[in-house]
Structure 1
Amino acid sequence: MQDDIEQAAIGLFNEIGGGFTLDQLQARTGLSRATLYRRIGSKDALLNRLSDENLIRLDDSLDMDVRVFAAARKVVGEYGFLACTMEQIAKEAGIGIATLYRHFKDKESLLGRFVAEMGPKLVIRQTLESRDPDLERDLKQIIEIGLRFGHHNQDIAKIIFSMKPAERKYLAALRRDSVSTFSRLIQYLEKHQRDGVLRRDVSAEDLAMNLNGLLVQYSAFGPAYLDRPLDIERDTDAILKMFLQSARRAP
């Protein structure tokens, strides 16, 4: 039986095509963005699953953005962010290069929007900027979102974590964020260090990298190399426990 999210997504897809937004899906389901991310990982992952189950005909109804972003995902997965070209993306999308340039003025514009569409940044930032911070609650939500995102985007995650410095710099410029999500996580951890909750003999940057590393290991490395299926509830609890054991200030 289809769940409420699938029914809502199918309805939106039939009405306006694959270009519907998560805001529209949120309004249709009445669920929060955090809940949507926990349950579907990303809109792209949801559409692909519905297509695989023959509940929608994705190839026949793709709008330009969805079509181009699907092509960009494949090309970036093969060549990386820095080396891929507009010509490669246009060819993969099955459109002319002139058509692609009419929709995106250059490669940076295209990839910048592609990166923005991929990540659950807004939900994570809302969690990190909560007016009522609760360390365990906030970290649990971030870990759940991170696990789903990493699992559904293993191809892109592998590229990001194997990047050379020049490509990392290029990707950072694409994101166009004055303060990155990672930087906000560092600031969030620093606040809890100042409040005496987290240890101060290790930098907040190192604590953030430790948490990021655990997310990668559980969402990508375990399923890919250890044949250990992702279990969101189990793995979230394990990561949260390990991180807090090492990061909390000793009594």
Structure 2
Amino acid sequence: MTHEGHVETEALTGGARTRARVLDAAARLIGTVGIVRATTKEIAREAGCSEAALYKHFRDKEEIFVRVLRERAPRLAAAVAELPGRAGEDTVREQLEAVVRIAVPFYRRSFPMAGSLFASPDLLAAHRRKLGDAGPHHVSSHLADYLRAEQRLGRVSSTIDPDAAAMLLIGACFHRAFLELFYADEAPDGALRPAGAEEFAAGTVRALLDGVLAPGA
């Protein structure tokens, strides 16, 4: 799997290849026509397989949606879940910039799919039940746990609220992804500041750390 969550289906065989084709097809359809119109029939047609073959790998459309988010988008949840165990490694700045570089593409990829889901209360409720406790709140909570671990090491100021700082960083990534999608290639001058992805990551983390880094850290 590449950084953007794309799977090279040509390298797969048999059932694994069919499963990958279904997920690729679902991601394309959900991002273009929306999750409500992306029926299992349409997904199977787009994937070049039968509905029966589709159901050999997935129970229903909701499971396909969950797997698309988990396997066809940059792996934000996995990346932040590992952070608390890496406290003390590298610098806080480097760790947080890495989160930003994953989070913005993740939200940019997820918005079209999630937007369709929010348009259907029944599908949203079904998706929420399938996630159980593995909901999107874990992204900020794992990041907050990492900041707490760095506080204990004296590398982050003891006066800051780790939960608030985590929400600030993730919120900035979420908004950046929204702006990039909204404007596409037609953003007016100054709409995206900083303009580049690397500059955004560095600038956002720098703005946050000016308020949380302990002196000399």
Fold-level similarity (TM above 0.5): yes
With the length of structure 2 as denominator, give the TM-score of the two structures. Answer: 0.66
Deviation digits for residues 165-186 of structure 1 (CA, Å, limit 9, x no counterpart): 9566544544466583332123
Q: Which residue is equivalent to 2:6?
A: 43
Which of residues 83, 88, 91 is equivalent to 1:132?
88
Q: Which has the higher helix share?
A: 1
Q: Which residue is equivalent to 1:74?
A: 28
Which AA in structure 1 matches 2:88?
Answer: D
Q: Give distance in 1, aligned partners of 2:212 and 2:167.
A: 12
Deviation digits for residues 78-115 of structure 1 (CA, Å, limit 9, x no counterpart): 333x7854334223334322121122233343333222
State percent identity of aligned pairs: 22
- Whether the 8 Å CA contact 1:198–1:248 is kept in 2: the answer is yes
Which of residues 34, 37, 57 is equivalent to 1:103?
57
Q: Determine whether 1:145 maps to 2:102.
A: yes
Q: Give distance in 1, aligned partners of 2:63 and 2:74.
A: 16
Q: Which residue is equivalent to 2:141?
A: 183
Aligned residue for 2:49, secondary structure, equals coil
Structure 2 gaps of 5+ residues are: 11-15
Which AA in structure 2 matches 1:190?
Answer: R
Superposed CA RMSD in Å reads 3.9
1:73 Cα deviation after fit: 1.2
Q: Determine whether 1:157 maps to 2:111.
A: yes
Residue pairs, 1:1-251, within 5 angstroms: 22=1, 37=3, 41-44=4-7, 63-77=17-31, 78-80=33-35, 85-117=39-71, 118-120=73-75, 121-130=77-86, 132-133=88-89, 134-151=91-108, 153=109, 156-160=110-114, 163=118, 170-175=126-131, 178=134, 180-192=138-150, 197-198=156-157, 200=159, 203-222=161-180, 224-225=182-183, 226=187, 228=192, 231-248=196-213
Which AA in structure 1 matches 2:70?
Answer: A
Which AA in structure 1 matches 2:172?
Answer: L
Tell me: higher relative CO, structure 1 or 2? Use CA pairs within 8 A at least 6 residues apart.
2
Q: Which moved more, 1:108-117 or 1:96-105?
A: 108-117
Q: Give distance in 1, aligned partners of 2:157 and 2:126.
A: 33
Matched residues, number: 195
- Whether the 8 Å CA contact 2:151–2:158 is kept in 1: the answer is yes
